[in-house]
Amino acid sequence: MQIYLPIAEMPVDPFVIVLLGGAVGFLSGLFGVGGGFLMTPLLIFYGIPPAVAVGTQGAQIVASSVTGLTAHLRRKAVDFQMGRFLVLGGAFGALAGVGLFRYLRALGQVEVFISLAYVAFLGLIGALMLAESLRAILRDPAKARPRRRSRRTAWMAALPWPMRFRRSQLYISPLPPVVLGFFGGVLSAILGVGGGFAMVPAMIYILNMPTNVVIGTSLFQIIFVMAITTVLHAAANQTVDIFLALLLLTGGVVGAQLGARAGVFIKAAQLRALLALLVLAVCTRLVFGLILPPDEPFVVEVL
């Protein structure tokens, strides 16, 4: 059985799409990541146009992030004050990213740009994750020293309009969170990812936020920025296929629950190493897709 996706303009097997959503949801629950950086390439591999894969992924991320945020709200582990500045920067970043996306699409280069961006991004993230996880696996536990979190925020406090972020226990200018949110918004608009796997380390090591509030605050920012990005993609580029998003979400909800249960049986360092290998495998597949000649070098379309 196949259904026709009106925005993607192609028939798909709904069971395959639900299975893809379930597989990425399982990985999300297993590794504790959003999964958008894996779902978009997988949709492209299946044949979904890259522009539609990027635009549609945002709708699924919003729905899944709302579920994750509720747990952090119950623990009061969300810095809403910090989140508002991240959302402010992210909104402008999403606007700039969607504008760039539309410009590249008009030039006919958006597919190549998305693939190249994913190759660079996944290659960098995968290599760093693999190196860090291998060091953790090979490290002698007896020689490991507890790491003290640095709170070097003097340079951020010296910027204009410093203020106190009580939940994060910081006294800094709101400009760094706004700038960080801007780059997160651009990343979300161009690659169709929530950006949590990039934003969370940046919030810890650049803003020096406490780890216990970082994930909840990141989810808060992702919900609003991805919602803005999805609306902008739908209005400006017409690349959001709601039927595709519903199929992905159906499989993702079930897969995430199964992955979370399976994750308790694997050590954290081993999980990170497996995820790094998976990321590098997807990156390699994208590279081959760029360098190998296509099956149909010419496409005839009615103008």
| pLDDT value, residue 296 | 57
pLDDT tens by residue, 230-272 = 888 888 778 888 888 888 888 877 776 676 676 566 665 666 6
53, 44 Cβ separation under 8 angstroms? yes
Higher pLDDT, 45 or 147: 45
| pLDDT value, residue 92 | 93
Long-range contact pairs involving 37-40 (C-beta distance under 8 Å, separation at least 24): 37/118, 37/121, 37/122, 37/125, 37/191, 37/193, 37/197, 37/279, 38/278, 38/279, 38/282, 39/248, 40/114, 40/118, 40/191, 40/192, 40/193
For the chain, what's the residue count?
Answer: 303
- Crossing angle for the helix pair 110-138 and 268-291, nearest 10 degrees? 150
The pTM of the full predicted model, rounded to 2 decimals, is 0.72
60, 252 Cβ separation under 8 angstroms? yes
Confidence label for 88 from pLDDT (cuts 50, 70 and 90): very high
Compute the radius of gyration of the chain from its Cα atoms.
Answer: 20
From the list 99, 109, 84, the residue with the least C-alpha distance to 163 is 84
d(CA 72, CA 215): 8
pLDDT tens by residue, 274-285 = 777 877 887 787
pLDDT tens by residue, 53-86 = 887 877 777 766 776 677 677 777 788 888 899 9
| pLDDT value, residue 216 | 79
Q: Please, how many CA atoms are within 13 Å of residue 207, restricted to the half-sphere of its CB?
A: 34
Mean of all residue pLDDT scores within the chain: 76
d(CA 226, CA 65): 10
177, 86 Cβ separation under 8 angstroms? yes
